[in-house]
């Protein structure tokens, strides 16, 4: 339980800080402060939010359909997360409805990294709710202070969020199959990102895990399977 709280709070602090960058970038792309804050309140998935404002910034309001498509494709990965998160949440319609909004990369990763069912549930909720609160606060700060802060990327906030996620992933890379999935997905995403619209490389990379898991490539095999 202590580890679940520690992981959840640590990831919350690292990820929430990156909300400053989104707030500043959103306003610079042409959205006002309130529109920026509504995106964080209701959309609440960082990759989709950055994709949306990035397309709007490049093409203006005329690019809204493309922005929505890009954000939707990136958000589609949360459907797969929901399959893994569902056992952590337990029964109860209201609980599942609330969990849907907090099912993001970080809350899923922290929950799955815990050793017991109760710790997984605590890790999920602490991370999901904590980031939602922190992300919205820093989004507002970035939207209001964007001109004063300058380019938020200069502070390395994007690297902080990625580093926190990698810290959760690293202990799971102990077996050959997990390493193969991670390396394969990273290569696929890196190769496809420059050529495909946002969201598609992530979904294609996810197929690496599906294929490797389904066929049990690189995994331990029983004597019957080996024969």
Whole-angstrom distance, CA of residue 225 vs CA of residue 227:
5
Asked if residue 43 lies in contact with residue 71, where contact means CB atoms within 8 angstroms, the answer is yes
Mean pLDDT in the chain? 78
> Any residues with CB less than 8 A from the CB of 59 and at least 6 apart, and which?
66, 67
| Structure tokens belonging to residue 184 | 């394969």
What is the radius of gyration, based on Cα positions, of the chain? 19
Distance CA 118, CA 55 (A): 41
Write down how long the chain is. Answer: 227
> Rounded to whole angstroms, how far apart are CA atoms 151 and 21?
8
pLDDT interval class at 223 (50, 70, 90): very low
Measure Cα distances from 78 to 100, 206, 212, 213 in Å: 9, 11, 20, 19
Q: What angle do CA 107, 113, 118 make, to 5 degrees?
A: 80
**pLDDT above 90: residue 195:** no
pLDDT digits (tens, 9 = 90+) for 32-58: 899 999 999 998 888 788 878 877 776
Helices 77-89, 93-102: crossing angle, 10 deg rounding: 140
* Local structure of 211: helix, strand or coil: helix
Q: Which has more pLDDT, 227 or 12?
A: 12
Angle value at C-alpha 179, between 120 and 222, nearest 5 degrees: 85
For tokens 């992530």, the residue is 202
Can you give the pLDDT at residue 140? Answer: 94
In this prediction, residue 194 carries a pLDDT of 79
CA separation for the pair 197, 69 (Å, rounded)? 9
Out of 15-29, 152-166, 175-189, the most confident range is: 15-29
Residue with tokens 């990102």: 193
């Amino acid at each position: 339980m202590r580890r679940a709280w520690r992981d959840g709070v640590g990831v919350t602090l690292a990820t929430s800080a990156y909300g400053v960058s989104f707030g500043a970038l959103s306003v610079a792309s042409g959205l006002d402060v309130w529109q920026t804050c509504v995106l964080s309140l209701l959309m609440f998935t960082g990759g989709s939010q950055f994709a949306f404002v990035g397309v709007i910034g490049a093409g203006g309001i005329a690019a809204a359909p493309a922005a929505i498509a890009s954000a939707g494709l990136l958000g589609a990965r949360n459907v797969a997360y929901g399959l893994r998160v569902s056992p952590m949440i337990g029964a109860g319609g209201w609980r599942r409805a609330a969990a849907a909004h907090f099912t993001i990369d970080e809350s899923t990763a922290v929950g799955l990294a815990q050793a017991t069912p109760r710790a997984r549930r605590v890790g999920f909720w602490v991370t999901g709710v904590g980031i939602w609160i922190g992300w919205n606060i820093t989004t507002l700060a970035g939207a209001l202070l964007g001109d004063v802060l300058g380019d938020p990327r200069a502070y390395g906030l994007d690297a902080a969020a990625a580093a926190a996620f990698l810290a959760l992933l690293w202990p799971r890379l102990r077996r050959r199959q997990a390493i193969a999935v991670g390396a394969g997905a990273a290569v696929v995403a890196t190769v496809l990102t420059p050529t495909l619209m946002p969201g598609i490389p992530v979904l294609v990379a996810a197929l690496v895990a599906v294929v490797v898991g389904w066929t049990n490539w690189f995994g331990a095999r029983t004597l019957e399977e080996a024969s």
